[in-house]
Structure 1
Amino acid sequence: MKPNDEFKESKVKATPSDAELEAVVISLQNSIREWAARHELWFDCGFQTYAQRVDGEPEAAPVATILHFNGDIGRALDGEFGDLDVEFIELLARHGFWFDRIDEVSVHIYPEDDSPLFQPFLDYVNWQWVCGLVQQDIADVHEELYSHFAKRPDDLHRLTWREFEILLFRIFQSQGFTCELGPGSNDGGIDVRVLQRDPLGDVLTLVQAKKYSPRNKIDMSAVAALHGVADVENAQKSIFVTTSDYLPSARKFAGRTRIPMTLATSNDVRNWCQNASDGIIRDKSKLVAPSAVSYLLQNLSSKDSRIVYARTGYSVITNQFAVVLKETKYAALLMGIPSRTISGYWQEGFEVPDIGSKCLEGLTADNVFRAKRSVSDGKVRYWNGHDLFRAWNGEPVHFNLCD
């Protein structure tokens, strides 16, 4: 019986848990490992999740696992060793999966489209992506972070207590407030400080977050402690936020405090996430004024570090050029720019970025994209989940479209 058939027949639970999905993946991985070892192919091989290897937005079809390799298993999957490639396809099919060769060192393995595991796996990989966005140091705004919790507030319970604090910090930031995230421990009972600039005087709001199970309700002592800190710090407001609820004594105390106090639950966080999601500009090209982009393009030199490129391809070699429109320490906004062939012919040769007035036509929603920025050995890299961009050195780069 295939693992997905087991779920078809199960009447205990309509949707498999994360642990059950992980068990399915482990079973699949063990079968692949045994098959490869039997054919003496299991050398320099391994498995990674999509989040671990790609660190980018999920694909339309969920990647259950990624098989990576440096040895002969890649040649076997290319059909160089008899019918081993057919055996591999049949092995995956017995488990309800199929694969796609991504590059020379890896394949992505997906659940079949008609499998009852397809949607659970899709939800699972999307959840991993959302968790990766709960970081205080990424300045770029990802709409899916907020829309996920707006639609599925129960998933707040799946966050760690620190991730819950960081999510609240990001929500208040998205509303335009000046925020300070506490250290996570020894914070004096305050997790986020929110400063609202006002012509009549700045308003300081202290936020206390508690990620508790639904049955662990907040009592009056916890609420009273927040009010005491707000009084000492001369705050104008305070907000207590929990994933559980409040005992009647806590609500009664909060209604009588001298400093206004709001008691919020997961429902409030859901509404905040919805408001944050609605307020985000999804068209990233709108984040940069055309006049600023025009000025940037006019002042680019051939060796400007803001011109970057990515080389991709498994059986062919292609290049993608882009220009960095804006960046922070951990994130960047890039715009694709066209290339121009300077030698060779249309299938193979050398090309350079075509930096001209027509580049401004690329300031569109489809051509402006976000990327994670990192620095290694003094060199800046930009990763958009599919391609790794690096600074172009001004020299022509090789391309080959011959398959």
Structure 2
Amino acid sequence: MLESPETVVNYYDSDFDYYEEEGIRQQVSGAYANIERVLRDKEAIYDITPREFEELVAEVFSQQVYNVEITPATRDGGCDIIATKEISGIPYMILIECKKCSARHKVDVQLVRSLLGVQSDRKANKAIHVTSSLFTRDARQFAERQEHLISLVDINDLMDMMRNAR
């Protein structure tokens, strides 16, 4: 039985904001376009803004069946993206920090240590540091000692993730 238009309207949340929904749709389509652009030309990653980089990373995790939330651009609490999902009914949360920098600028151990502190404070299951460049040897060694608590995703890993997400 079809509902009358008045009844159907009652099903929608009164807090629905068409413009906010449209903004989210534009972010996702922009992130997807940036993924396609970077897959065609790896150097294009250096032409996008830091926020677009965060949106690109969020889209990659979204395509891996995570619910993603991009934190505010400022006062983000030490992470740029919160990715969650349930695994066998158990909630799982990953904090993701994105560092968009030039190809020559490697992410050092200080930033990785800082993210581990945020992960511990927020009681997340895991923290992932994603960069458009590479990590220093010290940063990689530190992350390896943390076993399952923190992972590093450099530009090469990110490219693989984008290819696999297609």
TM range (shorter): 0.7 to 0.9
Q: Confirm or deny that 1:176 pairs with 2:82.
A: no
Q: 1:188 to 1:275 in 2, by over 3 A?
A: same
CA contact (8 A) 1:153 1:269 kept: no
Q: Does 1:228 align with 2:106?
A: no
Residue equivalent to 1:151:
40
Counterpart for residue 137 of structure 1? 24
TM (normalized to structure 2)?
Answer: 0.77
Kept in 2: contact 1:147–1:274 (CA 8 A): no
Percent of paired sites with the same residue? 29
Of 189, 202, 207, the match for 2:91: 202
> Within 2, Cα distance between the matches of 1:182 and 1:272?
21
Asked whether the equivalents of residues 193 and 207 of structure 1 are also in contact (C-alpha less than 8 Å), the reply is yes
Corresponding residue number in structure 2 for 1:261: 150
Native 8 Å contact 1:150 1:271 kept in 2: no
**Structure 1 unpaired stretches of 5+:** 1-134, 278-403
Match of 2:45, SS state, is: helix
Q: Distance in 2 between matches of 1:216 and 1:229?
A: 23
Secondary structure of the equivalent of 1:204?
strand
Within the alignment, does 1:245 sit opposite 2:166 as a pair? no
Q: Deviations over 1:367-400 (max 9, x none)?
A: xxxxxxxxxxxxxxxxxxxxxxxxxxxxxxxxxx
* Distance in 1 between residues matched to 2:62 and 2:69, nearest whole Å: 9
Distance 2:135 2:164 in 1: 24
Separation in structure 2 between the aligned mates of residue 136 and residue 256 of structure 1, nearest angstrom: 40
State the Cα deviation string for residues 53-87 of structure 1 (Å, max 9, x = none): xxxxxxxxxxxxxxxxxxxxxxxxxxxxxxxxxxx
Q: Distance in 2 between matches of 1:146 and 1:215?
A: 21
Residue pairs, 1:284-323, within 5 angstroms = none
Matched residues in 1 for 2:147 and 2:156: separation? 25
Quote the residue 2:102 is aligned against: 213
User: Residues of 2 paired with 1:268 and 1:223: CA distance?
Assistant: 17
Kindly provide the amino acid, as one letter, of the partner of residue 125 in structure 2. Q
Larger Rg: 1
Q: Which has the higher contact order (CA 8 A, sep 6+)?
A: 2
Q: Which runs of 5+ in 2 are unaligned?
A: 1-21
Q: 1-side partners of 2:132 and 2:63: how far apart? A: 21
Q: CA RMSD in A?
A: 2.1
Q: Secondary structure in 2 aligned to 1:137?
A: helix
2:17 aligned partner: none
Counterpart code for 1:254: A
TM-score, structure 1 as length reference: 0.33
**After TM superposition, what 4+ stretches of structure 1 lie above 2 angstroms from structure 2?**
139-148
Instruction: For 1:141 and 1:213, locate their aligned partners in 2 and report how far apart those are by CA, in whole Å.
Output: 24
- Equivalent pairs, count: 143
Do 1:150 and 1:273's aligned partners in 2 also have CA atoms closer than 8 Å? Answer: yes
- CA shift, 1:174, in A, is 2.1
Equivalents in 1 of 2:165, 2:147: separation in Å? 30
Q: 1:238 to 1:232 in 2, by over 3 A?
A: same
**Deviation per residue, 1:300-319 (Å, 9 max, x gap):** xxxxxxxxxxxxxxxxxxxx
Cα distance in structure 1, aligned partners of 2:50 and 2:35: 17
